[in-house]
A and B are shown apart, each in its own frame.
Chain A
Amino acid sequence: MADIKDMLQWLLNEVNIWITKGIITPEQRDRILKLYKVQAQNSIKPAAQKAAVKHTGRINLARVILVLAVVCIAVGLVIFYASNWRRMPPGVKMAQVFLLILTCYGASWFLLFVKKEIFIGRLILMLAMVTFGIGIMLVAQIYHISSHPTNGLLVWAIGTLLLSAVLDEQWGYYMSLALFTIWDYWEVVEYGNAAYLFIAPLLVLALFYYRRSDRTGLVLSVSLMIIYFFQVNIHWAGAADYNNKHVTEAAFMYMLYGFGPLLMVAGRMMRFNEKLEYSGYVVTLTGWITFMVPLLTLSWPYKIPDTTPLILFPRGTWIQSGQFAAFILLSAAGIRKLSSMDVKPHIYIPFILTALILVMVPHYSTTARMISTHIAIVGLIASSLSFAYLVPGEWHIEKGMAFLLTIAMFIVKWLGLTGSAFADNGYMVAYLVGFVIFATVCFLVNRLVKHLAEGKSYPSMIMDIITAVAIWFTLYTASFKIENQVSIFKADTVVIVMLFLFITLAVILYMVLMARLKQNRTIIYLSMIVFITSGIALFIARGEVSWIAYSLIFNILLFIATGTAIYYSTVIQSRALLNVAVCAFIVHIGTRYFDLFWDMLSGSVLFITTGIIGLAGGYILDKKRRQLINTFDSAEGDHE
């Protein structure tokens, strides 16, 4: 019986394959199955269905060769007519190309409708569509038409789309999409036009792709629609009056704060539709990046010359401000819709609130802008990591993007502040310690989320490692000879305010963690040592302070950072981390040996001090370990 069952299963799969190959119709399949008293579809096992799909998707060498042959012929024809062969008069070329077009279309018609050779017919149809383009280029060549070469491409794309729509030809849709995209790129880059028309074919093609359940086509057209949005808006911002230039450019950046959440919410909604699932991923991902770009760009202390508040929708920014308002309203509506669909869209709410707050803050005030963007950065890191991991639901992409947001902010700030330290030597300590404080805040946020997500698979290790590496390298940079520092109190107000802001944030986070964590506090204490000591270095830094003081502080901190990594490797029992930490230790010792060679006194003080601290620390740790073992032993004895 089992054998007959298998045979019928085989038959069920095979008839489906025959339908896809055009050998039989669905009605004929049903008649065949009726003969064997088998119900169509219902009795197909999912695994067997997959096998059938796999079977139909097998690579057919003959078809591969045919496709490559047609590609070769198409390319050859394009190059042949482009070469403008002088032995062939223009009239002959024209007659020839018309003949070629009609022959190719005629052959494809014959193959598709008469011979029912679908595959080869479609290939020849593609070739015919290429010959139509060749015809356009040939006319332009013969008559030296150069007024606007993109027009020819547009005609070609429209012709291809029209024919593809009539025949519902998937490959033709792709060809016309490619042609429209080249046309758009050419118009925008070469001629500086906005290419407004580009949206029309994108919408039409998206509709066709949707109808055909073509996910790849939908991903491509949706991605191009997003590109279209940017190209049009960049064009509008670029075309602004000279007097409104700065405020328009600023409004464009702030508008992205509204567009980002809209894409995030729209992407989440699209993921409910099976056909739009992949497009939804692309849209969500783009939304996060769209929000990150202005946040990172506007979080640096440069001056914005225009002093018009954006919240007043100033003249010259109506397009941008109007879009911002529309995007925020649409995002809010999307969140409401998601809530009604039993999705908990908490993760998006902070983005919308942040967008609203940031647009209200006077962007031209560097201090206000810096404070607001940095609070936004920390707040969004905390909220994104928390909601992505704590809120139930399918949030795979949000989880990834929350980490990407954190890592991107972290790395950009690291590179920016380290670069500024070298560019402005007088404030080297300030910039480097500034980053250590920022990194401490990120580290503490990560620890807090780890605590809140207890029992869930929150990968806190990623941020732990990135923070550790960044802090180690920053301390390593600071451990070299630093002289002639300017007091932090002589820096711009914005710098002082920012430092106090992050110190306050770190203190609050330490307090929260201390109140919540009842065990595993060692790593928090160790980070606290780095935070407080580097903070002291920041506030004592001034011209009169010898380089030896900075050197001692940062070198000891570097030893502590390495020691922390070694300690942590024993906690998590990671031999890899231990090896990395030991390598870091060797690099540090080696650097100092050569770096301090000509100043033996400082070197000896550093090594002896570190050695004593190491001895004391090691002794305490070992004593604790022995106490712990004794406790276990006595507990086991009592138990026995």
Chain B
Amino acid sequence: MNSYKKILMPVIVLLQVAVLVFMAAKQEYILAAGEKILLKCQPVDPRSLFSGDYVILNYEITRTDLETITVKDGEKRSFDINETIYIALDKSKMDKYWKAAAASRDIDWLRSRYKTVIQGRIDQYYNIKFGLEDYFVPQNEGRELERDLDNVHVEVSVMPDGSSAISRLFLNDREVRFY
């Protein structure tokens, strides 16, 4: 083995480790610094993949009706598959859960009117995905959630740039903790 390989190998390994650290740190930062909001879940058939069991979460805001929601003046209401979309979230004092109030491609426009904006992407079925749809659970322990998915809601941490992460999950208003 050449000497340059001897030196370069640890460099690449450190790079790989740095990628992992960055991934974890980014999520930790969102959870620590983001605004906490509650989102209501809708029941969806759960699935399990080889990479680990998880419960599929679907939100009321996933199926936001873009035909009726407030949009920026002159903005096209139809979004393409894979296009980034920002949804402004709002709730009255009476409400427990946050709901979609406006949608736009322009986050600055939304943020000038609303405090909380979440970033999503249009999927191939023209639903909005926020990256909050999978909740990984220990093996065979998602069944209780699946049975009562109607009464599940999650606390989401949202950053000013619209990025988000699930911070807590509740079943019948009680936090579900697996660890």
**Does A94 interact with chain B (Cβ within 8 Å)?**
yes
In the bound complex, CA of A112 to CA of B6 (Å) = 9
Give, as a whole number of angstroms, the nearest-CB distance from B32 to chain A. Answer: 12
Task: Flag whether B133 is at the interface (Cβ < 8 A).
Answer: yes
Q: How far is the CB of A157 from chain B (nearest CB, A)?
A: 12
Chain B interface mostly helix, strand, loop or mixed? mixed
Partner of A84, one of B5, B8, B19, B136: B136
Quick check: A166 and B9 within 8 Å, CB to CB? yes
| Bound form: Cα–Cα A142–B27 in Å | 10
Assembled-state Cα–Cα distance A288/B16 (Å): 43
Shortest B135–chain A CB gap in Å is: 5
B136 touches A113 (CB 8 A): no
Within the complex, which residue of B16, B52, B54, B132 is in contact with A83, where a contact is CB–CB below 8 Å? B52
A146–B23 touching, CB < 8 Å? no
Q: In the complex, are the beta carbons of B24 and A139 less than 8 A apart? A: yes
Indicate whether B124 reaches chain A with its CB closer than 8 angstroms: yes
By a CB distance below 8 angstroms, the chain A residues around B10 are 105, 109
Decide if A162 is an interface residue (CB 8 Å cutoff). Answer: yes
Number of interface residues of A (CB under 8 A): 44
Residues of A within 8 A of B81 (CB): 192
B16 near A163 with CB under 8 A, answer: yes
Say yes or no for A591: interface residue by CB 8 A criterion.
no
Residues of B within 8 A of A105 (CB): 9-10, 13
A615 within 8 A of B: no
Contact (Cβ within 8 A) A162 B132: no
Cα(A408)–Cα(B139), bound, Å: 50
Q: How far is the CB of B175 from chain A (nearest CB, A)?
A: 15
CB nearest neighbor in B for A113: B6
In the docked arrangement, what's the CA distance between A98 and B17, Å? 7
A30 CB to nearest chain B CB (Å) = 21
A113 touches B1 (CB 8 A): yes
| B65 contacts A by Cβ under 8 Å | no
Binds B, one of A85-93, A341-349, A418-426, A497-505: A85-93
The answer for the CA separation of A443 and B170 in the assembled complex, in Å, is 75
In chain B, positions 85-109 with a C-beta closer than 8 Å to chain A are none
Is A137 close to B, CB under 8 A? yes
Kindly list chain A residues whose C-beta atoms are within 8 Å of the C-beta of B112. Answer: none
Q: Are A163 and B9 in contact (CB under 8 A)?
A: yes
B53 at the interface (CB under 8 A from A): yes
A167 touches B9 (CB 8 A): yes
Q: Which residue of A lies closest to B163 (CB)?
A: A147
Which one of B9, B82, B132, B135 has the greatest number of beta carbons of chain A within 10 Å?
B9
A82 at the interface (CB under 8 A from B): yes
The answer to the question of B141 belonging to the interface, with a C-beta cut-off of 8 Å to chain A, is yes
Cα separation A144 to B141 with both chains bound (whole Å): 15
Q: Is the CB of B136 within 8 A of A136?
A: no
Cβ of A102 within 8 Å of any chain B Cβ, yes or no, is yes
User: Are A166's CB and B8's CB within 8 A?
Assistant: yes
A158-177 interface code vs B (CB 8 A; 1 in, 0 out): 01001100111000000000
> Is A147 a contact partner of B129 (Cβ separation < 8 A)?
yes
Task: Say yes or no: A82-B51 contact (C-beta < 8 A), given A144-B135, A155-B19.
Answer: yes
Does A191 lie at the interface of the complex (its beta carbon under 8 Å from any beta carbon of B)?
A: yes
Residue B20 at the chain A interface, CB threshold 8 Å: yes
Which one of B53, B134, B138 contacts A144 once the chains associate, using CB atoms below 8 Å? B134
A143 contacts which of B12, B24, B53 (Cβ < 8 Å)? B24
Complex CA distance for A339 and B179, rounded to whole angstroms = 72
Question: How many Å from the CB of A49 to the closest CB on chain B?
Answer: 27
Chain B, Cβ-Cβ closest to A139: B23
Q: Is the CB of B1 within 8 A of A112?
A: yes
A137 touches which one: B31, B51, B178 (CB < 8 A)? B51
Tell me what chain A mostly uses at the interface: helix, strand, loop, or mixed: helix
Are B82's CB and A145's CB within 8 A? no
Complex alpha-carbon distance, A81 and B53, angstroms = 11
Q: Mark A51-85, 1 if CB is under 8 A from B, else 0.
A: 00000000000000000000000000000011111
Are A167 and B5 in contact, with the CB atoms below 8 A? yes
- At the interface, yes or no: A132 with Cβ under 8 Å from chain B? yes
Q: Does A135 have its Cβ within 8 Å of any Cβ on chain B? A: yes
Chain A 510-537, CB-CB to B under 8 Å as 1, else 0, gives 0000000000000000000000000000
Once the chains are docked, how many angstroms separate the CA of A192 from the CA of B81?
Answer: 9
Query: CB within 8 A of B20: which of A83, A135, A166, A191?
Result: A135
Bound complex: CA A136 to CA B136 (Å): 14
The answer on a CB contact under 8 Å between B82 and A132 is no
Contacting residue for A136 out of B12, B20, B130, B166, CB 8 A: B20
Chain A CB within 8 A of B121 CB? yes
A94 (CB) vs chain B CBs: closest residue: B24
B82 and A89 within 8 A (CB)? no
Q: Tell me if B131 and A145 are in contact (CB < 8 A).
A: yes
**Contact among B16, B52, B53, B132 for A132, CB-based, below 8 A:** B16
Q: Are A193 and B82 also in contact (CB < 8 A) when A144-B165, A147-B121 are?
A: yes
Chain A residues contacting B131 (CB-CB under 8 Å) are 145-148
Distance between A491 CB and nearest chain B CB, rounded to angstroms: 44
Q: Mark A84-123, 1 if CB is under 8 A from B, else 0.
A: 1110111000100110011001000100110010000000
Tell me if A136 and B1 are in contact (CB < 8 A).
Answer: no
Complex interface residues of chain A between 150 and 206 (CB less than 8 A to chain B): 155, 159, 162-163, 166-168, 191-193
- B15 beta carbon closer than 8 Å to chain A: yes
Cα of A88 to Cα of B131 in the assembled complex, Å: 25
CB distance from B53 to the nearest CB of A (A): 7
Q: Which residues of B contact A85 (CB under 8 A)?
A: 138-139
Least CB distance from B158 to A in Å reads 14
Cβ of A141 < 8 Å from any Cβ of B?
A: yes
B53 x A84 contact (CB < 8 A): yes
Tell me the bound Cα distance from A458 to B124 in angstroms: 54
CA gap between A84 and B31 in the complex, in Å: 21
Provide the bound-state CA to CA distance between A81 and B9, in Å: 26
Known contacts A88-B179, A191-B82, A193-B82; can you find 10 more A-B pairs with CB under 8 A?
A81-B52, A101-B17, A105-B9, A109-B10, A140-B23, A143-B23, A143-B165, A146-B133, A147-B130, A163-B9
In the complex, 26 of the A-B residue pairs with CB atoms within 8 angstroms, ordered by the A residue number, are A82-B50, A83-B52, A83-B138, A84-B52, A84-B53, A85-B139, A101-B16, A101-B20, A105-B9, A109-B9, A112-B9, A136-B23, A141-B52, A142-B24, A143-B31, A144-B136, A145-B27, A145-B134, A146-B129, A146-B132, A147-B121, A155-B19, A159-B16, A163-B16, A166-B9, A193-B82
CB within 8 Å of B: which residues of A? Answer: 81-86, 88-90, 94, 97-98, 101-102, 105, 109, 112-113, 116, 128, 132, 135-137, 139-148, 155, 159, 162-163, 166-168, 191-193
Top 3 nearest A-B pairs (CB, nearest first) are A147-B131, A146-B134, A143-B27
